[in-house]
């Protein structure tokens, strides 16, 4: 066990995590030269999507130093703000972390928030400045930032280039000399932490774990602590370039288990595996049942694709347990699903995967967060859908989820970003200068405020020089209303949303203006209204069309007239009928994107 080293890589997106990981695989001969070449070629085609480490989630390398062989387990952390819980579990499985900072970019929000998680778990941090081969590298400045941030000595920082290989031997040496060997007793009752899982169409769910205590043997009867379910460890092993079966995996090591599990919901990240016969007395601390926080309706653009959408979502759910969905129907959009996501970016990923992997074009309704409605009867109802809100007389009060948001930016954008966060009902917690021109600001904010257009606004006001991260931070009371959009008095359910009262007027007005642009004139006037209950808060009118489309044809040319009518009919197919008003599909899309 003294020769095990478990570590992860903390880096902001694009700072070089995958490239460096592949270099480590190459330097330890885990990946041979030919495979490395292939990988490099793959990278050219589809860059990030094929990073081996990203596909593997965890990988084991053997590294020889002074005739001593060390087993290095690299555990991947999802590089994505919505997955902070998963990151925390991956970090909990490690004793050390490489902190990679791009020499041309400096420290960014994601680096810091993951660093805090790593420090909370007492990980040994090895700071690395990457991309020193680049002309724009600001090695001294970034060194100062890192020293300031973690309080290390400048000589503790390893200058490196994942591209040319500079610094790679030093990084491997540092992993061995600085990261402590895992503690734990191989003879104790089994305690193994699940930090990730994947779905394999032949083998079912494969769970990845780190044994903190005890020894797991092939064929053992095991129990997953939090779900209470029991299985047989059909196959266990370690992860190299492929899965390598083993008879046993001891305390301190990282491995995989295949036990005939078919659904992803049975394997929860953070759960503890123990033996049925000699069960540990308590689970590894830190388990959380992560619940989706952002909800939206997903409707097929073509209503004939409803069943295909269901099967695509089912397939996505197999390897993404945090995605939930249930059937929902809308008068305007037909049959679809109400889906739950960890956050807005997770929602975008699912939308993108539906499109890319399943060729499914979907309409997403206005997303909303999950609210806790306290009724006058004393019950608490979770509301994910505008139509699920109880009648106003039954509502005592409503609570909304809040987040702790962290933004890192250049000082020149600080004022504009502060204003944005305050406009979004943020409360400033603190601000820390990381260097003379770089500042970290922390806000408490309602989650619902970042569900709309927060990212885009942040990006545009900072010209891209702001990085953002957040974690959930409890609930607070909120004054929430249901905003309806009516066309000639008919409510369009797909456009209803739950919104904070202070934002309702502005949002309602914008919706009406946008719809006015997008709905074509028809034979009669169309009133577009935004309303809270019976109270109309905004209104626009589309004037009736006076001209007959066929009028141009002078009544003479019958075939031309027919063609025109047919064209009009075809156009109608892409329209949705709301009461007597025809709404182009594209109007829904545009309005929902508006935020």
Does 345 interact with ligand GTP (rule: CB under 6 A)?
no
Cβ-in-10-Å burial (0-12, 13-18, 19+) of 167 comes to: buried
CA atoms within 13 A on the CB side of 504: 23
By CB under 6 A, the residues from 271 to 330 that bind ligand GTP are none
Neighbours of 221 (CB within 10 A): 12
Instruction: Give strand ranges (E) for 280-419.
Output: 294-300, 324-330, 334-341, 362-364, 368-369, 371-375, 380-383, 395-410
| Nearest C-alpha neighbor of 144 from the set 98, 96, 103, 97 | 103
- Phi–psi pair at 312, nearest 5 degrees: -65, -45
- Is 273:194 a contact under the CB 8 Å cutoff? yes
- Residue whose CB is less far from ligand GTP, 13 or 590: 13
- Residue whose CB is less far from ligand GTP, 31 or 528: 31
Question: Of these, 40, 41, 64, 134, which contacts ligand GTP (CB under 6 A)?
Answer: 134
Q: Which residues pair with 97 in a beta bridge?
A: 8, 125
Question: Of these, 35, 124, 133, 248, which contacts ligand GTP (CB under 6 A)?
Answer: 133
Does 163 interact with ligand GTP (rule: CB under 6 A)?
yes
Q: Any known ligand binding at 543?
A: no
By CB under 6 A, the residues from 432 to 461 that bind ligand GTP are none
- Residue whose CB is less far from ligand GTP, 11 or 504: 11
Question: Of these, 1, 3, 13, 473, which contacts ligand GTP (CB under 6 A)?
Answer: 13
Does 14 interact with ligand GTP (rule: CB under 6 A)?
yes
- Phi–psi pair at 220, nearest 5 degrees: -60, 145
Q: Any known ligand binding at 16?
A: yes
Q: Any known ligand binding at 125?
A: no
Q: Which x/- pattern over 70-109 shows residues binding ligand GTP (rule: CB under 6 A)? A: ---------x------------------------------
H, E, C per residue of 578-593? ECCEEEEHHHHHHHHH
- Residue whose CB is less far from ligand GTP, 164 or 586: 164
Does 18 interact with ligand GTP (rule: CB under 6 A)?
yes
Q: Any known ligand binding at 67?
A: no
Place of tokens 């903390």: 10
Cβ-in-10-Å burial (0-12, 13-18, 19+) of 491 comes to: middle
- Residue whose CB is less far from ligand GTP, 20 or 587: 20
Q: Any known ligand binding at 255?
A: no
Please state the closest distance from residue 214 (CB atom) to ligand GTP, in A: 34
The rounded distance, in Å, linking the Cα atoms of 214 and 251 is 5
Instruction: Tell me how many residues contact ligand GTP (CB under 6 A).
Output: 18
Please state the closest distance from residue 547 (CB atom) to ligand GTP, in A: 54
For residue 153, give Cα distances in angstroms to 60, 149, 347, 495. Answer: 30, 11, 41, 56
Please state the closest distance from residue 76 (CB atom) to ligand GTP, in A: 10
Does 130 interact with ligand GTP (rule: CB under 6 A)?
yes
Please state the closest distance from residue 13 (CB atom) to ligand GTP, in A: 4
The DSSP-derived string for 17-65 is HHHHHHHHHHHTTSS-HHHHHHHHHHHHHHGGGG-HHHHHSEEEEEEEE
Neighbours of 555 (CB within 10 A): 8
Please state the closest distance from residue 49 (CB atom) to ligand GTP, in A: 9
For residue 567, give Cα distances in angstroms to 222, 562, 585. Answer: 65, 9, 17
Question: Of these, 31, 162, 174, 211, which contacts ligand GTP (CB under 6 A)?
Answer: 162
- Contact window for ligand GTP (CB under 6 A) among 29-37, 126-134, 226-234, 252-260: 126-134
Chain centroid to Cα 69, Å, comes to 37
Question: Of these, 29, 48, 291, 501, which contacts ligand GTP (CB under 6 A)?
Answer: 48
- Contact window for ligand GTP (CB under 6 A) among 12-20, 271-279, 482-490, 511-519: 12-20
Q: Any known ligand binding at 19?
A: yes
**Cα distance between the two ends of the chain:** 53
- Contact window for ligand GTP (CB under 6 A) among 156-164, 343-351, 385-393, 486-494: 156-164
Place of tokens 């074509």: 520
- Is 51:21 a contact under the CB 8 Å cutoff? yes
- Residue whose CB is less far from ligand GTP, 28 or 275: 28
Does 161 interact with ligand GTP (rule: CB under 6 A)?
yes
Please state the closest distance from residue 469 (CB atom) to ligand GTP, in A: 14
- Residue whose CB is less far from ligand GTP, 30 or 364: 30
- Contact window for ligand GTP (CB under 6 A) among 17-25, 390-398, 497-505, 570-578: 17-25
Q: Any known ligand binding at 132?
A: yes
DSSP percent split of the chain into helix, strand, coil, nearest 5: 35, 35, 30
The rounded distance, in Å, linking the Cα atoms of 213 and 227 is 20
Does 19 interact with ligand GTP (rule: CB under 6 A)?
yes
Known binding-site positions for GTP: 14-19, 130-133
Known binding-site positions: 14-19, 130-133
| Residues engaged in binding ligand GTP (CB under 6 A) | 11, 13-19, 48, 51, 79, 130-131, 133-134, 161-163
């Amino acid at each position: 066990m003294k020769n095990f080293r478990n570590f992860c890589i903390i880096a902001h997106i694009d700072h070089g995590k995958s490239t460096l990981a592949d270099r480590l695989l190459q330097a330890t001969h885990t990946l041979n030269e030919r495979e490395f070449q292939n990988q490099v070629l793959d990278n050219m085609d589809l860059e990030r999507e094929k990073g081996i480490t990203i596909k593997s989630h965890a990988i084991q390398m053997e590294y020889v130093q002074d005739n001593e062989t060390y087993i290095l387990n690299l555990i991947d952390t999802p590089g994505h703000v919505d997955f902070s819980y998963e990151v925390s579990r991956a970090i909990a499985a490690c004793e050390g972390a490489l902190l990679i900072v791009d020499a041309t970019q400096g420290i960014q929000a994601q680096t810091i928030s993951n660093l805090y998680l790593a420090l909370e778990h007492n990980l040994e941090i090895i700071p690395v400045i990457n991309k020193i081969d680049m002309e724009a590298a600001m090695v001294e400045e970034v060194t100062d930032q890192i020293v300031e941030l973690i309080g290390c000595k400048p000589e503790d920082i390893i200058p490196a280039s994942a591209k040319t290989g500079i610094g790679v031997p030093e990084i491997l040496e540092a992993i061995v000399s600085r990261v402590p060997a895992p503690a734990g007793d191989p003879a104790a009752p089994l305690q193994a932490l699940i930090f990730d899982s994947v779905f394999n169409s032949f083998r079912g769910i494969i769970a990845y774990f780190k044994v903190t205590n005890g020894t797991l043997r092939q064929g053992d009867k095991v129990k997953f602590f939090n779900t209470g379910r029991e299985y047989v460890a059909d196959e266990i092993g370690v992860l190299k370039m492929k899965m390598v079966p083993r008879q046993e995996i001891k305390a301190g090591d990282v491995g995989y288990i295949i036990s005939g599990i078919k659904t992803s919901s049975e394997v929860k990240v953070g759960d503890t595996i123990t033996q049925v016969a000699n069960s540990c007395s308590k689970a590894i601390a830190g388990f959380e049942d992560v619940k989706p926080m952002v909800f939206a309706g997903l409707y097929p653009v073509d209503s004939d694709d409803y069943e295909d959408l269901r099967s695509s979502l089912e397939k996505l759910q197999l390897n993404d347990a945090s995605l939930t969905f249930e059937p929902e129907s809308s008068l305007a959009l037909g049959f679809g699903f109400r889906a739950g996501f960890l956050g807005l970016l997770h929602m975008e990923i699912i939308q993108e995967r539906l499109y890319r992997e399943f060729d499914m074009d979907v309409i997403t309704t206005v997303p909303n967060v999950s609210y806790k409605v306290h009724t006058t009867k004393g019950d608490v109802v979770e509301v994910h859908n505008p139509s699920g809100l109880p009648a106003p007389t039954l509502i005592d009060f409503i609570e909304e989820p809040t987040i702790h948001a962290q933004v890192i930016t250049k000082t020149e954008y600080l004022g504009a970003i502060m204003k944005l966060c305050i406009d979004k009902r943020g409360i400033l917690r603190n601000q820390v200068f990381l260097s003379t021109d770089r500042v970290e600001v922390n806000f408490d904010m309602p989650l619902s405020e970042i569900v709309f257009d927060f990212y885009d606004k942040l990006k545009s006001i900072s010209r891209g020089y702001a990085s953002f991260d957040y974690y959930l931070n409890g609930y607070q009371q909120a004054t929430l209303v249901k905003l309806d959009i009516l066309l000639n008095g008919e409510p369009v359910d797909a456009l209803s949303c739950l919104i904070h009262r202070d934002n309702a007027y502005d949002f309602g007005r914008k919706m009406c203006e946008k719809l006015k642009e997008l709905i074509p004139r028809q034979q009669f006037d169309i009133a577009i209204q935004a309303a809270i209950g019976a109270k109309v808060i905004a209104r626009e009118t589309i004037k009736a069309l006076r001209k007959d489309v066929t009028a141009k044809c002078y009544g003479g040319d019958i075939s031309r007239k027919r063609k025109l009518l047919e064209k009009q009919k075809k156009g109608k197919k892409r329209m949705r009928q709301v009461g007597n008003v025809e709404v182009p599909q594209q109007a829904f899309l545009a309005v929902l994107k508006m935020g």
